[in-house]
A = this chain, B = another copy of it.
């Protein structure tokens, strides 16, 4: 005996409200529709669902039991409708983001938390990678957004990218570093201290190499490599080591007062932090909202970072 689910829901509405008219109103239907449904149900079930000739309407035990199941369905239906609604306005769903480790750790994680104060039902799945990995992950639909530095020249190929921060690197060290005592540290001084190399494969590593070349240096003391941002910072805290970092990452740590940037200008990489999306794929609304949130967040940061850069590096 297969029972039409809609019928059960209508039965539940009638039992719940105590009348055909009210039940129909609850479902936004006309009374005769529900009335007919009930007679059809009774005919199919072959047993009375309501006690006849009594008003207010009273269900039989069977009718009551069936109505309970209908109520379950009604609730599930409501929840499903709400889910769709909240998904469409970007208030629920999953956002899968990938990015370069330092940016994610230093800047994005905090933004995720902030985003969820207004979008508590959105889940964020984060993963790490560099440009080529992220591009592949985007194309394979393993992530929805990538946040990473890309060469300004890189273009198209099905990906849309939105620049959110110009690429500026600095030499980072702990706040007690001896080089900070000099008014104008010279690049040659940099070679006197141990260095932390950025993770293999990272753009920063390439930046470090370019930096050395610009000094004409052939060798520096690499003493530590491979650590995540937290490892690097903790290492820096404990030694007079140096490393190359995006300025924004150092900026994000300014409140901790543990690391800072040396007042030395080094070449800008031809790169910018950007948000990458697939241009063709349909994205969940929550993804677009998150991307916009990140973009707006960086927009706010931009001049703060600029001013910080001028004061720290140029000493203005």
The B-contacting residues of A in range 1-38, CB under 8 angstroms, are: 1-6, 8-9
Contact across chains for A77 and B282 when beta carbons are under 8 A apart: no
Query: Using Cβ atoms and an 8 Å threshold, which residues of chain B touch A141?
Result: 51
Check: A284 CB closer than 8 A to any chain B CB: yes
Contact across chains for A45 and B84 when beta carbons are under 8 A apart: yes
Q: Within the assembled complex, what's the spacing in Å between the Cα atoms of A70 and B81?
A: 11
Contact across chains for B80 and A47 when beta carbons are under 8 A apart: no
A77-B46 CB under 8 A given contacts A66-B84, A83-B65: no
Check: A62 CB closer than 8 A to any chain B CB: yes
Q: Within the assembled complex, what's the spacing in Å between the Cα atoms of A151 and B88?
A: 73
Query: Using Cβ atoms and an 8 Å threshold, which residues of chain B touch A88?
Result: 1, 45-47
Contact across chains for B3 and A62 when beta carbons are under 8 A apart: no
Query: Using Cβ atoms and an 8 Å threshold, which residues of chain B touch A93?
Result: 61-62
Check: A43 CB closer than 8 A to any chain B CB: no
Check: A48 CB closer than 8 A to any chain B CB: yes
Chain A 59-72 interface mask (CB, 8 Å, partner B; 1/0): 01110011001101
Contact across chains for A48 and B2 when beta carbons are under 8 A apart: no
Query: Using Cβ atoms and an 8 Å threshold, which residues of chain B touch A180?
Result: none
Contact across chains for B3 and A48 when beta carbons are under 8 A apart: no
Check: A76 CB closer than 8 A to any chain B CB: yes
Chain A 149-171 interface mask (CB, 8 Å, partner B; 1/0): 00000000000000000000000
Check: A85 CB closer than 8 A to any chain B CB: yes
Check: A79 CB closer than 8 A to any chain B CB: yes
A5-B3 CB under 8 A given contacts A72-B76, A284-B62: no
Query: Using Cβ atoms and an 8 Å threshold, which residues of chain B touch A62?
Result: 83-84, 87, 93, 284
What class of interface size applies to chain A in its complex with B? 35 or more
Q: Within the assembled complex, what's the spacing in Å between the Cα atoms of A21 and B285?
A: 30
Q: How far is the CB of A304 from chain B (nearest CB, A)?
A: 35
Q: Within the assembled complex, what's the spacing in Å between the Cα atoms of A93 and B60?
A: 10
Check: A229 CB closer than 8 A to any chain B CB: no
The B-contacting residues of A in range 257-290, CB under 8 angstroms, are: 282, 284-285
Query: Using Cβ atoms and an 8 Å threshold, which residues of chain B touch A1?
Result: 81, 84-85, 88
Q: Within the assembled complex, what's the spacing in Å between the Cα atoms of A51 and B144?
A: 13
A73-B77 CB under 8 A given contacts A46-B88, A61-B284, A282-B48: yes
Other contacts beyond A5-B6, A61-B94: 10, CB < 8 A: A8-B76, A47-B84, A47-B284, A48-B282, A51-B141, A62-B84, A62-B93, A65-B87, A66-B83, A72-B73
- Can you list 30 A-B pairs with a CB-CB distance of less than 8 A? A1-B85, A1-B88, A3-B80, A3-B84, A5-B5, A5-B6, A5-B9, A5-B76, A8-B80, A45-B88, A47-B84, A47-B88, A47-B285, A48-B282, A60-B284, A61-B94, A61-B284, A62-B84, A62-B87, A62-B284, A65-B87, A66-B84, A69-B79, A69-B80, A69-B83, A70-B80, A72-B73, A72-B76, A73-B73, A73-B76
